[in-house]
């Protein structure tokens, strides 16, 4: 492999000749051979950095035109656009497991933009620190990139996936408004309800999760850019924070605002914890939904068997004809991963020592993994499971007729204790509740039929 010589404040480094990164990126690449190829900095963070660098260049052009010339600004913007188009993806090799402030990833972006700009200009036009990083510090750019990436991930990927699942459940609910089934509490038979009512519970949980996700977005949109090293804004011109937030909002299409307290924005990740808490709540509800579906579809002959789920692939290498609820299973595994990620984020966020939190990359990695995995998992679950659910109406009706909990409707007429005796006698003797009531002399067959009407118990 051919190399070229790059230098930084610590001296010279040999960098692969083809690479657009420079000395600081190369030092990090060599010093942190941890999770290489598997746990690189999330692409969402790199994209957010590109948008930040472009916004900063435009802001510096307006506030510091003697330093940020039109030529330099255009070169930075062109390189940032190339990153956003995915044209330079191979030039971001750094792993998550680096310095906790993310300094090397900030410099990776600075170096790639500078080298790209210099190649395009055919001269030494841009310096990674003096030009691309002008008015910035890793200490304010990485927290900003984290918040930008998190907010856009929730807005653009997770929320649309959740809304698609809500729509699918709403259609399923409409299709089953007239279907009666037995309810279950403690995994035991309970009183009847409409299948549409059961579905509405799933839908209502997801709608609540959506509301909580939306509530988490405004705090995420408060960015640290302009705080520089410790929150004072040293080396940034007056008004840089406000104008940079405006430029970033224009570039992303999302209304980011300058954090009113930069000291808080650099050292605290409470907004991220809050937002991931909403993601965790969604994961918990999805776990419940997936488990409900596979319980109701269990069997098909020796379980509850009240639902039929789509048969997507063979379920066994030894048992012919077996089909498993695989989409439910992938969703529950993703939910488990999200719950684990939440623990990591919570611990990391508690480590904001003095003027900076130095667990930023791991927070970025876990948050963005949760959002991405859930978005993809929910979309697959919606398309390959929920849209194909069919109710076994006959089986549901038979289960309602056989349920001993219809005795609940007897209580107002014969009293709780007699109703309990009838249910116990029916269970012990394997007869219907109707037959038990008649044999015990509590009601005539006609009286039972008039009192116990499942369709009026919902």
- As annotated, the residues of the chain forming the CATH 1.20.200.10 domain(s) are 154-223+252-393
pLDDT of res. 369: 98
Per the model's pLDDT, the better-predicted residue between 45 and 401 turns out to be 45
- As annotated, the residues of the chain forming the CATH 1.10.40.30 domain(s) are 403-456
Residue 20 has pLDDT above 90, yes or no: yes
At CA 123, angle to CA 121 and CA 124, rounded to 5?
A: 115
Among residues 370, 376, 362, 267, the alpha carbon closest in space to that of 41 is found at 362
pLDDT of res. 317: 87
Pairing assessment for the beta strands 307-308 and 390-391 based on DSSP bridges: antiparallel
186 part of the active site: yes
How far from 52 is each of 6, 57, 326, 335, CA to CA, in Å? 25, 8, 41, 32
Residue range 101-130: mean pLDDT, rounded: 97
Residue 316 has pLDDT above 90, yes or no: no
Catalytic residue among 316, 350, 411, 444: 316
Q: Which two tokens stand for residue 296?
A: 């109701």
Q: How far, in Å, CA of 179 to CA of 189, rounded? A: 17
User: Would you place residue 416 in the very low, low, confident or very high pLDDT band (cuts 50, 70, 90)?
Assistant: very high
Of the options 1.10.40.30, 1.10.1510.10, 2.60.40.420, 3.10.180.10, the CATH number for the domain spanning 403-456: 1.10.40.30
pLDDT of res. 1: 86
Catalytic residue among 91, 101, 127, 186: 186
Residue 421 has pLDDT above 90, yes or no: yes
* 40 CB neighbour count, 10 Å cutoff: 17
Q: How far, in Å, CA of 57 to CA of 61, rounded? A: 6
Structural domain 3-134, CATH architecture: Orthogonal Bundle (1.10)
Lowest mean pLDDT among 19-23, 125-129, 289-293: 19-23
pLDDT of res. 51: 98
User: Would you place residue 127 in the very low, low, confident or very high pLDDT band (cuts 50, 70, 90)?
Assistant: very high
pLDDT of res. 457: 86
Of the options 3.50.50.60, 3.90.480.20, 3.40.640.10, 1.20.200.10, the CATH number for the domain spanning 154-223+252-393: 1.20.200.10
Q: With pLDDT > 90 as the criterion, what percentage of the chain qualifies? A: 94
pTM of the full predicted structure? 0.94
Give me the helix-helix angle, 195-220 and 138-153, nearest 10°.
160
Among residues 271, 284, 153, 154, the alpha carbon closest in space to that of 206 is found at 284
Q: How many residues does the chain have?
A: 458
In a 13 Å sphere around the CA of 369, the CA atoms on its Cβ side amount to 22
User: Would you place residue 24 in the very low, low, confident or very high pLDDT band (cuts 50, 70, 90)?
Assistant: very high
pLDDT of res. 37: 87
Among residues 55, 52, 75, 51, the alpha carbon closest in space to that of 125 is found at 75
DSSP class of residue 224? -
Residue pair 22/115 in contact (Cβ under 8 Å)? The answer is yes
What are phi and psi for residue 301, nearest 5 degrees? -105, -25
Residue pair 266/227 in contact (Cβ under 8 Å)? The answer is yes
* 3-state DSSP helix/strand/coil % of the chain, to nearest 5: 60, 10, 30
For residue 233, is it left (φ>0), alpha (ψ between -120 and 50) or beta? left
413 part of the active site: no
- As annotated, the residues of the chain forming the CATH 1.10.275.10 domain(s) are 3-134
Residue range 218-222: mean pLDDT, rounded: 98
Q: Give the chain's mean pLDDT.
A: 96
Residue 315 has pLDDT above 90, yes or no: no
How far from 239 is each of 56, 82, 115, 143, CA to CA, in Å? 12, 28, 29, 19
Give pLDDT tens digits for 248-290.
999 999 999 999 999 999 999 999 999 999 999 999 999 999 9
Q: Which two tokens stand for residue 205?
A: 């949980």
Among residues 173, 180, 175, the alpha carbon closest in space to that of 196 is found at 173
Q: Which two tokens stand for residue 189?
A: 């038979």
């Amino acid at each position: 492999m051919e190399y070229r010589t790059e230098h930084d404040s610590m001296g010279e480094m040999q960098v692969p000749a083809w690479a657009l990164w420079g000395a600081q990126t190369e030092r990090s690449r060599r010093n942190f051979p941890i999770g290489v190829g598997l746990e690189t900095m999330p692409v969402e963070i790199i994209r957010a950095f590109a948008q930040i660098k472009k916004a900063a260049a435009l802001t510096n052009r307006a506030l510091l035109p003697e330093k940020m010339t039109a030529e330099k600004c255009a070169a930075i913007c062109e390189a940032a656009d190339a990153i956003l188009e995915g044209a330079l993806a191979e030039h971001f090799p750094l792993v998550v497991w680096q310095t906790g402030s993310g300094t090397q990833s900030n410099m990776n972006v600075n170096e790639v933009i500078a080298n790209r700009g210099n190649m395009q200009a055919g001269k030494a036009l841009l310096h990674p620190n003096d030009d691309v990083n002008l008015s910035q510090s890793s200490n304010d750019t990485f927290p900003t990139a984290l918040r930008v990436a998190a907010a856009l991930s929730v807005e653009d990927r997770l929320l649309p996936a959740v809304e698609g699942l809500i729509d699918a459940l709403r259609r399923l609910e409409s299709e089953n408004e007239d279907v009666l089934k037995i309810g279950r509490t403690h995994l035991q038979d309970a009183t009847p309800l409409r299948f549409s009512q059961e579905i509405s519970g799933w839908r209502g949980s997801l709608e609540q999760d959506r509301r909580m996700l939306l509530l988490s977005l405004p705090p995420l949109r408060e960015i640290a850019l302009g705080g520089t090293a410790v929150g004072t804004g040293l080396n940034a011109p007056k008004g840089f924070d406000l104008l940079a937030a405006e430029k970033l909002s224009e570039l992303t299409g999302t209304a980011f605002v300058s954090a009113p307290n930069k000291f808080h924005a650099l050292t605290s990740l409470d907004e991220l914890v809050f937002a991931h808490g909403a993601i965790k709540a969604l994961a918990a509800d999805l776990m419940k939904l997936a488990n409900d579906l596979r319980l109701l579809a269990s069997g098909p002959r020796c379980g509850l068997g009240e639902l039929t789920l789509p048969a997507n692939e063979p379920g066994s290498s030894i048992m012919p004809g077996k089909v498993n609820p695989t989409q439910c299973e992938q969703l529950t595994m993703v939910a488990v991963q999200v719950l684990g990620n939440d623990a990591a984020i919570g611990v990391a966020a508690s480590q904001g020592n003095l003027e900076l939190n130095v667990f930023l990359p791991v927070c970025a990695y876990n948050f963005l993994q949760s959002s991405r995995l859930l978005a993809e998992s929910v979309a697959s679950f919606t398309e390959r499971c929920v849209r194909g659910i069919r109710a076994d109406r006959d089986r549901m009706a038979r289960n309602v007729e056989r349920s001993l909990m219809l005795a609940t409707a007897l209580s107002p007429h014969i009293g709780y204790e007699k109703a309990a005796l009838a249910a116990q006698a029916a269970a012990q003797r394997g007869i219907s509740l109707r037959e038990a009531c008649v044999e015990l002399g509590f009601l005539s067959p006609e009286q039972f039929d008039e009192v116990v009407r499942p369709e009026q118990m919902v």
